[in-house]
Structure 1
């Protein structure tokens, strides 16, 4: 949500009577393709110990550069009325009776492009969706959950959902993720694209500051 909030902040600062922007929330592979074909100037994605080799190779093949923004631990994102919502941390064993919600990626190598960390774990219940609104509805209706960075914008997401630290007990892989943005190599970004990146840096700096002051929370407004 920090990518959307940064976009909102940018648009709000545009002191013009008219503007024509586009922000696309799409599959990871399409993010890469959009920037590679200059349909988009900037793309946001993450690298992990599992997908780093595959994604890095794909970026290099398409002439793209990855710029790191922040490293995050994994959080469990769920509805505030979920039975586990008040837990200090949550491990996979506690989640086994609830469906894991993930975004549909749509090809045979989709686990490399999954937006959710630990995408190869053997989940007993899964539901794939193709939009965020449906995912939030299923968090309430099915007590589902997803795994995320924990950087939650309460102003946009509201107060009905919480992010609880994920306990890596029972997992074999590194659950840390490195979030960054990608751009086309040897391309000069437009003024608006650069301003958008600046907004992201500002937002994440604010997040780091608040995280340092309040270790138990991961929401910013």
Structure 2
């Protein structure tokens, strides 16, 4: 199998359509279809299920895609090492929970590797998708937290996908509220204090259980619950409805706004924030830089 064939696999998977992939690769559709068939025969698998709507990866196809991306990424690392950056277009991707420090670190990496052209991706997404993104190679690094509430389930899923979890920071749970919230003047907030107010959480799709929740109190019952999909909506509702959410407490006024404040939550538990990477993979220079600035942001905050 050649590197070009591996690029075919990745492009078809990303496009979900043979015709679109062929156009992107500048080859004829029959030639691409034939190449995919040859790869499947060589590997003894069916990588794609074909339909009138396009193509979808099978489970074997997902595994093949993961290996293909790893090989191509390692080839890029090798090329960069021996040829330098001049002929390389920077490529880097991160999947994370909704953390301001993850965004700030991403900005720093882009500034460090500012170039005429680059492909950088930051995906603030659902917890299950973070694990899946790193497992299949959509992202080089994932960022999430483990705690006594979710560790058994998430660690099993992490190990099943041949991933490593590296702890970077231990955070005590905090409450995000608006600076005009009735609880804004309290030095520390209790769970009982929060009971009358709307609890805002990030929606987790079909994996919407407290094991996959970004918020620390999702195993508890609150009478008022609101699910959202993005950071801006959550913060608008915090302000407009005197709502609250529970997180690490690391806050950035430029991203979160001056109207959002963080208060310690009365709890004996902790959040172990860390990164996910694929086992036995070499992190790119962009990944190394990202981890360095990420640790700096965590230590500063």
Scaled to the shorter chain, the TM-score interval is 0.7 to 0.9
Q: How many residues align?
A: 202
Pick the aligned partner of 1:161 from 241, 255, 260: 260
Is 1:56 aligned with 2:155? yes
Is 1:190 aligned with 2:289? no
Partner deviation per Cα, 1:134-173 (whole Å, 9 max, x = no partner) = 10110111111000101112232221110001113xxxxx
Partner deviation per Cα, 1:18-77 (whole Å, 9 max, x = no partner) = 221000000000000000000000000000001111111100000000000000101000
Indicate the residue corresponding to 1:210 in structure 2: none
Pick the aligned partner of 1:88 from 187, 204, 217: 187
The verdict on how the C-alpha distance between 1:131 and 1:15 changes in structure 2, with shifts beyond 3 A counting, is closer
Query: d(CA) in 2 for partners of 1:134 and 1:109?
Result: 19
* Structure 1 residue runs without a partner (length 5+): 169-173, 208-221
Q: CA deviation at 1:82?
A: 0.9
Q: Give secondary structure in 2 for the equivalent of 1:24.
A: strand
Would you say the 8 A contact 1:118–1:175 is kept in 2? no
* TM-score, normalised via structure 2 length: 0.65
Partner deviation per Cα, 1:162-196 (whole Å, 9 max, x = no partner) = 0001113xxxxx53110000001111111111111
Indicate the residue corresponding to 2:197 in structure 1: 98
Query: d(CA) in 2 for partners of 1:36 and 1:108?
Result: 17
Indicate the residue corresponding to 1:175 in structure 2: 269
Query: d(CA) in 1 for partners of 2:299 and 2:265?
Result: 23
Query: d(CA) in 1 for partners of 2:209 and 2:102?
Result: 22
Is 1:125 aligned with 2:219? no
Would you say the 8 A contact 1:45–1:179 is kept in 2? yes
Q: Using CA pairs below 8 Å that are at least 6 residues apart, which structure has the higher relative contact order?
A: 1
CA RMSD of aligned residues (A): 1.2
Would you say the 8 A contact 2:239–2:259 is kept in 1? no
> Which runs of 4 or more aligned residues in structure 1 lie more than 3 Å from their structure 2 counterparts after TM superposition?
none
Structure number with the higher helix fraction is 2
Pick the aligned partner of 2:178 from 79, 85, 94: 79
Query: d(CA) in 2 for partners of 1:154 and 1:141?
Result: 18
Indicate the residue corresponding to 1:199 in structure 2: 293
Indicate the residue corresponding to 1:67 in structure 2: 166
Indicate the residue corresponding to 2:124 in structure 1: 25
Q: CA deviation at 1:125?
A: 0.8
Indicate the residue corresponding to 1:11 in structure 2: 110
Indicate the residue corresponding to 2:96 in structure 1: none
* TM-score, normalised via structure 1 length: 0.88
Indicate the residue corresponding to 1:136 in structure 2: 235
Query: d(CA) in 1 for partners of 2:228 and 2:298?
Result: 27
* Structure 2 residue runs without a partner (length 5+): 1-99
